[in-house]
């Protein structure tokens, strides 16, 4: 069975900001096994998860070897192995009434099995799976677990070795009856991000915090002291707002040292003084998704555990190999797709082009660029009369010699390193004075290829040549 590396993924329905290394943010459904994205000729599939319907534009086909679809617990983070397959064209889609009358198992729903961890055994697991198989009603199944009775010595702890032994037992039992487990429910109970209570128990400092406010209306001029009502509040900032004009003034710098409090003066007029802070009090013990370290630890506790215990069941069947890999820029909720052929060539599909994504594609396709200016690109570029100039270049080869022309058409000076592919011995030719001087370069290796680093200094609205010396 072919395997793919695991990716971290997130549901955007309730999270509108997530940082750090979650590797893909495009849909709460993560595909394993033989799966086909829908095209414009196919309608949407609706999953009923909990009490809310969730539309997913995917249709699922089962495979004899188990594959997994990871559906989050409808709130936040999921981790899986994401893959896609060629979309069938309209002429390839067959509509047969006989199939409509008696759908094959691959088009049937999922049996939802409940691991009641306070009372679970091999016999109970086998019976649940066998009943799903013999009902002839399902094309696959999924497992959820409910809490065990506190203090019961027979409890099976969520994510323990015994829990995964029973999980494996269910998977293998289902495969014998051609009923794959193809949906991985990613939590013990709703919402995702608690790891069955283990996250808060191990990392109480990384649970989600609530943004709170304390405020006071005052008439100035006056001195105002304002303090958070809790001792362990985390200071965020402070603002005073004119109640007549609604104009706001940032007074965050009026914080008293070492305290979640401010001491400030307000001028004449009617003002509302507001202090904002985070309350770290433990509520549901949910992971703080805005904290990169918290997300890392959630992946480590929960998703990595599934992979470590069940990795051989993740992947794609031999007849349905992955044809595209997913790359992600989590900070911006953007993804693009890459496809490699047998000769090592690659094609990229970019739904929403922007500098960061294009930069990532170039780094993947051409690890050592011909010319790599070591400064961030200007974006967006102002056009027409608003154009403010830019740093641009041209690289030509004449009589076997490399010639690089750099032009700074902006009103701002440029001082940046430039990395050139190959080992170059360069001279600086100044087109404004006609002078020639030796360029100071350093040679290194990048991705197995030699590279030359040279410093580029250009005042406003000037240009320069770098010419390779024999």
Helix (H) or strand (E) holding 142: strand 138-146
Look at residue 429 and tell me whether its pLDDT is greater than 90.
yes
Q: What is the mean pLDDT of residues 377-385?
A: 80
pLDDT at res. 108:
84
Write the pLDDT tens digit of every residue in 55-87: 332 322 333 333 333 333 322 222 222 223 333
**Highest mean pLDDT: which of 25-29, 100-104, 189-193?**
189-193
Please report the DSSP string for 242-271 in residue order.
Answer: ETTT--EEE-GGGBPTTSSEEEEEEEEEEE
pLDDT level of residue 150 (50, 70, 90 thresholds): low
| More confident: 329 or 383 | 383
Element (H, E) at 174: helix 161-176
* Percent of residues, the chain, with pLDDT higher than 90: 50
pLDDT of residue 320: 47
Residue 128 CB partners (closer than 8 Å, separation 6+): 113, 114, 170
* Angle value at C-alpha 351, between 345 and 352, nearest 5 degrees: 120
d(CA 310, CA 22): 21
Beta bridge partners of 438: 427
Q: What is the pLDDT of residue 298?
A: 95
Average pLDDT over residues 411-439: 94
| CB-based contacts of 391, cutoff 8 Å, min separation 6 | 373, 375, 406, 407, 408, 409, 410, 414, 416, 458
Per-residue pLDDT, averaged over 355-369, amounts to 83
String of DSSP letters for 68-129: -EEE--SSSEEEE---B-PPPPGGG----HHHHHS--GGGSEEEEEEEETTS--HHHHHHHH
Section 156-174 average pLDDT:
94
Helices and strands, number each (H, E), in the chain:
7, 26
**Long-range pairs of 386-393 with CB within 8 A, sequence gap ≥ 24:** 389/461, 391/416, 391/458
Residue 13 pLDDT greater than 50, yes or no: no
Q: pLDDT tens digits, residue range 98-132?
A: 777 777 777 788 899 999 998 899 999 999 999 99
pLDDT of residue 53: 33
Question: Are 469 and 403 in contact, with CB atoms under 8 Å apart?
Answer: no
Q: Which among 208, 234, 211 has a CA at the least distance from the CA of 77?
A: 208
Tell whether the model's pLDDT for residue 359 goes beyond 60: yes
Distance CA 324, CA 261 (A): 53
Among the residue ranges 91-105, 197-211, 274-288, 423-437, the one predicted with the least confidence is 91-105
The residue behind tokens 């999953």 is: 47
Within 10 angstroms of residue 84's Cβ, the number of other Cβ atoms is 17
Mean pLDDT of 15-22: 30
Q: How far apart are CA 403 and CA 396, in angstroms?
A: 5
Residue 66's contacts (CB-CB under 8 Å, 6 or more residues apart) are 33, 171, 174, 175, 180, 181, 182, 313
Q: Which of 219, 213, 212 is nearest to 272 (CA)?
A: 219
pLDDT at 48: 30
Mean pLDDT of the chain: 77
Going by their DSSP bridges, the two strands 181-185 and 69-71 should be labelled as parallel
pLDDT digit string, tens, across residues 283-332? 778 999 989 999 999 999 999 999 999 988 876 544 344 455 656 655 55
Quote the CA–CA distance of 259 and 253 in Å, as a whole number. Answer: 12
């Amino acid at each position: 069975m072919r395997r793919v590396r695991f990716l971290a993924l997130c549901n955007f329905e309730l999270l509108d900001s997530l940082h750090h290394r979650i590797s893909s943010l495009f849909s709460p459904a993560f595909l394993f096994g033989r799966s086909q994205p829908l095209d414009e000729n196919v309608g949407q599939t609706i999953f009923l998860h909990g009490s809310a319907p969730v539309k997913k534009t995917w249709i699922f086909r089962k495979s004899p070897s188990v594959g997994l679809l990871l559906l989050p617990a409808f709130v936040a983070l999921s981790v899986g192995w994401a893959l896609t397959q060629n979309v069938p064209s309209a002429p390839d889609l067959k509509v047969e009434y006989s199939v409509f009358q008696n759908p094959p198992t691959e088009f049937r729903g999922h049996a939802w099995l409940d691991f009641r961890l306070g009372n679970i055994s091999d016999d109970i697991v086998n019976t649940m799976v066998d009943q799903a198989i013999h009902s002839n009603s399902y094309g696959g199944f999924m497992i959820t677990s409910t809490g065990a009775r506190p203090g019961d010595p027979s409890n099976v702890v969520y994510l323990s070795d015994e829990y995964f032994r029973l999980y494996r037992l269910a998977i293998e039992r289902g495969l014998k009856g051609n009923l794959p487990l193809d949906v991985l429910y990613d939590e013990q109970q709703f919402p995702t991000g608690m790891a069955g209570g283990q996250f808060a128990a191990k990392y109480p400092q990384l649970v989600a915090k609530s943004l709170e406010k304390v405020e006071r209306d005052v008439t100035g001029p006056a001195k105002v002291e304002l303090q958070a009502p809790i001792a362990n509040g985390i200071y965020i900032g402070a603002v005073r707002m004119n109640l007549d004009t609604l104009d706001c003034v940032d007074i965050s710098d009026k914080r008293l040292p070492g305290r979640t409090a401010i001491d400030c003066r307000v001028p004449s007029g009617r003002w509302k003084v507001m202090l904002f802070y985070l309350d770290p009090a433990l509520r549901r013990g949910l992971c703080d998704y805005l904290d990169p370290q918290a997300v890392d630890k959630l992946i480590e506790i929960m998703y990595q555990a599934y992979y470590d215990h069940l990795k051989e069941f993740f992947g794609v069947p031999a007849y349905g190999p992955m044809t595209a890999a997913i790359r992600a820029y989590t900070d911006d909720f953007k993804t693009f797709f890459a496809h490699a052929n047998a000769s090592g060539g690659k094609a990229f599909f970019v739904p929403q082009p922007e500098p960061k994504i294009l930069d990532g594609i170039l780094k993947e396709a051409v690890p050592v660029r011909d010319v790599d200016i070591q400064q961030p690109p200007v974006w967006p570029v102002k056009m027409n009369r608003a154009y403010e100039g830019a740093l641009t270049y041209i690289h030509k080869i004449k009589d076997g010699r490399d010639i690089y022309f750099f032009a700074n058409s902006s009103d701002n000076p440029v001082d940046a390193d430039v990395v050139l592919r190959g080992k170059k011995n360069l001279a600086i030719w100044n087109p404004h004075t006609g002078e020639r001087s030796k360029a100071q370069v350093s040679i290194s290796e990048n991705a197995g290829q030699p590279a030359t680093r040279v410093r580029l200094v250009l005042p406003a609205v000037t240009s320069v040549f770098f010419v390779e010396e024999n």
